């Protein structure tokens, strides 16, 4: 079984965020980056399938040169090789444009299964994986917690609303978007880090991929949440003030 895992490099959650001078996105200088959380769970699912049934795990990512570090991290955890769609202008693409780049980069791979995270921690659109499946013309399913290989293909467990779950039988090739938190993520071992240095990492220049980069969705501006401080004086007797405070905590702040 050949499994392709699409991973994204995103800013650290605890990074100090500043808006760039254009007001279009955050300033990326002096920020640490990491693998997107739900993509890390997608990678873990792929590695578990490989350990159980054999095959190959290929990681795919797009972005500037620093993205290679995140790909190497995936290789150190057990992926077999990587594909890096190199571009310093990935922000000029929307989800459809990125999916088109990915579809072109893996057109010759003939993968049995493609896994992506449910959504990215930075934009949170949750669209790229589903669009990629449509471009490739393969079935897809989202919010996946567990994957089992069957004789006919795969059986997946989906998370629905209000504590409900759903099992689906699917044929392969197929694409799944993985929900976070159902498995324990592994750490890269020292031996894995050493082996990752010699594993294949194919770099494909985005400019060399002939795709329609016209945006369907544009991001006009971003802004940090405004901080406001207000003071309310509660009057009346101590009992009346206490009752008013409890009401505000229940109805306005909603902490009781």
Q: Answer yes or no: is pLDDT of 38 > 90.
A: yes
Domain-embedded: residue 16: yes
Judged by DSSP in three states, 244 sits in: helix
What is the domain count for the chain?
1
Domain-embedded: residue 43: yes
pLDDT band at 6 (very low <50, low <70, confident <90, very high): very high
Nearest-CA neighbor of 38 among 126, 99, 101, 114? 126
Q: Give the pLDDT of residue 250.
A: 87
Domain-embedded: residue 151: yes
Domain-embedded: residue 239: no
Establish how many alpha carbons lie within 13 A of residue 64's alpha carbon, considering only the half-sphere containing its beta carbon. 8
Specify the CATH number for the domain of residue 118: 3.40.50.620
CA-based radius of gyration for the chain: 22
Domain-embedded: residue 160: yes
pLDDT band at 223 (very low <50, low <70, confident <90, very high): confident
pLDDT digits over 42-68, tens only?
A: 999 999 999 999 999 999 999 999 999
Per-residue burial over 43-80, b if 16 or more Cβ lie within 10 Å, else e, is: bbbbbebbeeeebbbbbbbbbeeebbebbbbbbbbbbb
The arithmetic mean of pLDDT across residues 23-43, rounded, is: 90
Domain-embedded: residue 102: yes
Judged by DSSP in three states, 155 sits in: strand
pTM for the model? 0.84
The arithmetic mean of pLDDT across residues 148-156, rounded, is: 94
Q: Answer yes or no: is pLDDT of 256 > 80.
A: no
Domain-embedded: residue 93: yes
Q: For 194-231, give the DSSP string.
A: HHHTTS-EEEEEGGGS------SS------PPP-----
Judged by DSSP in three states, 249 sits in: helix
Q: Give the pLDDT of residue 27.
A: 84
Domain-embedded: residue 236: no
Q: Which domain holds residue 203?
A: 2-208
């Amino acid at each position: 079984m050949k499994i392709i895992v699409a991973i994204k490099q995103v800013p650290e959650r605890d990074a100090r965020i500043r808006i760039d001078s254009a007001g279009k996105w955050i300033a990326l200088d002096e920020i640490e980056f990491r693998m997107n959380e739900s993509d890390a769970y997608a990678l873990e699912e792929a590695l578990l399938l490989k350990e159980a049934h054999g095959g190959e795990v290929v990681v795919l990512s797009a972005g500037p040169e620093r993205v290679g570090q995140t790909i190497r991290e995936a290789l150190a955890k057990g992926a077999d090789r990587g594909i890096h769609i190199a571009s310093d202008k990935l922000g000029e693409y929307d989800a459809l444009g990125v999916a088109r780049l990915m579809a072109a980069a893996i057109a010759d791979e003939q993968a049995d299964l493609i896994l992506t995270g449910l959504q990215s921690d930075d934009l949170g659109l949750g669209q790229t994986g589903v669009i990629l499946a449509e471009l490739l013309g393969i079935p897809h399913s989202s919010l996946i917690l567990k994957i089992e290989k069957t004789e006919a293909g795969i059986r997946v467990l989906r998370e629905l609303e209000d504590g409900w779950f759903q099992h689906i039988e699917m044929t392969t090739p197929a694409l799944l978007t993985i929900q976070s938190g159902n498995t324990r993520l592994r750490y890269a071992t020292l031996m894995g880090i050493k082996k990752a240095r010699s594993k294949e990492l194919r770099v494909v220049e985005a400019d060399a991929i002939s795709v329609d980069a016209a945006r369907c969705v544009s991001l006009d501006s971003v802004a940090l949440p405004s901080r406001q401080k207000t003071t309310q004086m509660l009057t009346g007797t101590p009992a009346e003030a206490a009752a008013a405070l409890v009401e505000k905590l229940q109805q306005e702040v909603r902490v009781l």
